[in-house]
Amino acid sequence: MKIGVVGAGNMGGLHVSLFKNRTDVEFVGVTDIDLDRCNKFSEIHGGKAYKNVQEMIQTGGAEIVFVTIPNTKHKQVILDGLREGAVVFGEKPFVTSIADADEIMTELAGKQNRLYNGFNRRFAPVYAKAKELVQQGFQVRSANIIMNDGDMTSPPWVTNTALTGGFLYDTTIHMFDMVRFLVGEIAEVRCIAQQCHYPLQDNFSFIFTTTSGQSIVMSSNGHASWAYPSERIQLWGDHATIVTEELDNVMHCGSNKSTLEITDVKNLDRNMKWGYAQMHEDFLGAIAANQPFSITPEDAYKSVLITESCYISAANGGKAIQL
């Protein structure tokens, strides 16, 4: 599999370091609007520096393109990659508006295995364990979730909505996907938002209802301290609980009163703990084995729909928005 990367930054480097471990992968190179970064990246990681994604595919022969550039720039590069016939791995968020998502869905025209969205948390051991418990019969009645950022000054572009699309697109979207993954399809959102400490809305409260009637309370802000946990999911069942803390541990208390199980992975290698390594296996393994992708364009689309609906609800004083 010949792979190219668009975006010679942090995530581009992380992805190359992971797929270069595979024997069935050839890294063809990188493209970036910043030529210096592009050249330095290819010196460090190998491969060539290309002018743009078209050249990387046509001349470099890239069959798979990893898109690791700022959020609001994803759409054009995803479209360019798809139009040149490549399979596209898009970092989260998929895109930063439903209008952009619609354009890509039209381009895909229902074709499978052309687009994968990097929701790494689905593969993080704590969330994989929670999912396993749900699949084994833990029936989620309600949930309480937090997803915070300790400090939105670093990296410096985090508060630049023109690049990120906003805090929900940059950070909270991970948890919107987790709600779908662990609890169920969201049918209705209500959201209240405030601007507290940064020049954008940075303080959010949500109530979600799923298509099965489960209710979820969630909050997400960009001005939490660095005291852990900044990310936590509590699922309540029939006298039963699942609680995750960071990506470090998950506690399951079963309804038979005798089950108290704690899975602690805090000392795991970071790429495993955050699910990046397993996500690579899932994505590239599916291509190698010609199997359907586990994360579909519909998953990507729904995450954007939830995010945009939350912003619409917030702009309307917390009005319920049906999805």
Contacts of 217 (CB under 8 A, 6+ apart): 142, 143, 144, 145, 206, 207
- Residue closer to ligand NAD by CB (options 19, 138) is 19
Residue type at position 160? N
Q: Applying CB under 6 A, which residues contact ligand NAD?
A: 6-12, 32-34, 37, 68-71, 73, 91-92, 118, 120, 170
- Residue closer to ligand NAD by CB (options 22, 37) is 37
Q: Min. distance of Cβ 121 from ligand NAD in angstroms?
A: 8
Say which residue the tokens 């295995």 belong to: 113
Give dist(CA 24, CA 34) in Å, integer: 29
Q: Min. distance of Cβ 290 from ligand NAD in angstroms?
A: 26
HSE toward the beta carbon, residue 142, CA cutoff 13 A? 6
Q: Min. distance of Cβ 223 from ligand NAD in angstroms?
A: 19
Q: Min. distance of Cβ 259 from ligand NAD in angstroms?
A: 32
Say which residue the tokens 């909505």 belong to: 161
Query: Nearest-CA neighbor of 113 among 85, 92, 79, 91?
Result: 85
- Residue closer to ligand NAD by CB (options 34, 238) is 34
Q: Min. distance of Cβ 114 from ligand NAD in angstroms?
A: 19
CA 110 to chain centre: 21
- Residue closer to ligand NAD by CB (options 73, 197) is 73
Q: What angle do CA 292, 298, 304 make, to 5 degrees?
A: 140
Give dist(CA 41, CA 53) in Å, integer: 15
- Residue closer to ligand NAD by CB (options 128, 253) is 128
Q: Is 299 in contact with 317 (CB distance < 8 Å)?
A: no
Give dist(CA 210, CA 140) in Å, integer: 11
CB-closest chain residue to ligand NAD: 9
- Residue closer to ligand NAD by CB (options 18, 253) is 18
Query: Nearest-CA neighbor of 168 among 15, 23, 313, 34?
Result: 313
Q: Min. distance of Cβ 10 from ligand NAD in angstroms?
A: 4
Any idea of the CA torsion for 246, 197, 190, 309, to the nearest 10 degrees?
-90
Q: Min. distance of Cβ 190 from ligand NAD in angstroms?
A: 25
- Residue closer to ligand NAD by CB (options 10, 139) is 10
